[in-house]
């Protein structure tokens, strides 16, 4: 529910005291209390002003919503729309107070997609609504206060677009759960799409003498960014899932322990894997005659069997066939980097 509670529970789950870094995080969180209270006070006292401005922006951009047949057409439907604006604004204030997105996730995102789909409310409209709510809210805050509140609006937008559903640790790992990307990625991507669209429109004007209408939505851009996940679903029928640092179609592609440090290893195709195997002294295993050795040669097979891996300490900088002794490797010889190579078995 809050940063302090989450850190304490995390330490307790691991049967330890909070680390120095965790304690510093608690102190930093507590020291920002007055600033967070100021943000919440402004948002709470200005609720009606924020909601009215957000609605004005939304219906100005999407007049079809208030036209006959639109989801906000008529007094009752419009009132329900404004009610949802207030509801999400209140959730943002909860997040700011607690320094946590847990309430937003549990109350505002889990099941929200299914609920709005069942009511016939378009998700692009909901994401655009959150963007308008964000702009209306931040316009009333100072630069520093806006920086405090903005991530909680971004959390809502990313959650509705599906990006968070494939970001974070898997359900079978500690700390599992949807996670927001560390930057306002969808906003940045939408800006990039806009710049490309503007260039295309200028080229069209140069060629035809006619202007172009550019229409962009945060949700559309975010869904487009999930292209490989969408293709995986269309091909396999399986819903994408969170995989931490791993990749759904490439293996090895993950973070691995390496001589007391951590490395991120990406081997994207069979040619790269052969080079990688030769470099770490695994080529003689790769060229064996066993079924699993043959599997390891093929990209798809490595991905399918990614869960059936063992680790073998080998030398990344030494001879291809391990001219250094096991004793040298175990002592982390300065000319070597011992890594955990992937060995299918």
DSSP β-bridge partners for residue 313: 340
Residue corresponding to tokens 């080229």: 203
Length of the chain: 345
187 in active site:
yes
- The number of helix segments (H) and strand segments (E) in the chain equals 17, 4
Residue corresponding to tokens 């790269």: 272
* Token pair for 173: 């790992």
Q: Which of 13, 145, 171, 187 is catalytic?
A: 187
* Token pair for 274: 């052969």
From the list 171, 169, 174, 96, the residue with the least C-alpha distance to 137 is: 96
3-state secondary structure of 126: helix
From the list 282, 259, 280, the residue with the least C-alpha distance to 331 is: 259
From the list 233, 269, 277, 274, the residue with the least C-alpha distance to 253 is: 269
From the list 212, 176, 209, 214, the residue with the least C-alpha distance to 194 is: 214
Rounded alpha-carbon distances, angstroms, from residue 250 to 48, 157, 239, 243, 266: 49, 28, 17, 12, 8
The continuous run of DSSP H or E covering 343 comes out as strand 338-344
By annotation, the residues acting in catalysis are 187
């Amino acid at each position: 529910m809050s940063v302090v509670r989450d850190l304490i529970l995390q330490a307790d789950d691991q049967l330890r005291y909070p680390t120095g870094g965790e304690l510093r995080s608690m102190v930093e969180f507590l020291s920002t209390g007055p600033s967070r209270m100021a943000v919440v006070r402004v948002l709470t006292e200005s609720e009606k002003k924020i909601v009215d401005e957000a609605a004005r922006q939304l219906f100005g951009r999407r007049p079809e919503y208030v036209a006959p047949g639109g989801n906000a057409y008529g007094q009752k439907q419009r009132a329900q729309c404004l009610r949802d604006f207030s509801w999400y604004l209140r959730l943002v204030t909860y997040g700011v107070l607690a320094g946590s997105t847990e309430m937003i996730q549990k109350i505002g995102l889990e099941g929200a997609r299914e609920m709005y789909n069942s009511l016939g409310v378009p998700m692009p409209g909901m994401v655009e609504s959150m963007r308008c709510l964000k702009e209306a809210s931040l316009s009333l805050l100072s630069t520093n206060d806006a920086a405090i509140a903005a991530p909680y609006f971004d959390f809502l937008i990313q959650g509705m677009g599906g990006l968070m559903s494939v970001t974070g640790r898997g359900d079978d790992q500690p700390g599992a759960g949807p996670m927001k990307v560390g930057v306002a990625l969808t906003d940045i991507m939408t800006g990039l799409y806009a710049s490309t669209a503007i260039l295309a429109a200028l080229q069209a004007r140069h060629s035809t003498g006619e202007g172009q209408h550019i229409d962009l939505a945060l949700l559309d851009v975010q869904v487009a960014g999930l292209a490989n996940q969408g293709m995986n679903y269309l091909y396999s029928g399986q819903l994408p899932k969170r995989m931490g640092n791993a990749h759904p179609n490439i293996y090895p592609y993950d973070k691995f322990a390496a001589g007391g440090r951590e490395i991120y290893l990406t081997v994207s195709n069979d040619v790269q894997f052969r080079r990688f195997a030769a470099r770490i002294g695994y080529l003689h295993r790769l060229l064996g005659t066993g079924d699993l050795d043959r599997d390891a040669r093929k990209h798809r097979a490595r991905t399918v069997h990614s869960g059936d891996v063992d680790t073998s300490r080998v030398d990344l900088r030494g001879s291809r066939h391990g001219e250094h002794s096991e004793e040298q490797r175990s002592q982390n010889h300065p000319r070597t980097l011992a890594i955990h190579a992937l060995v299918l078995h």
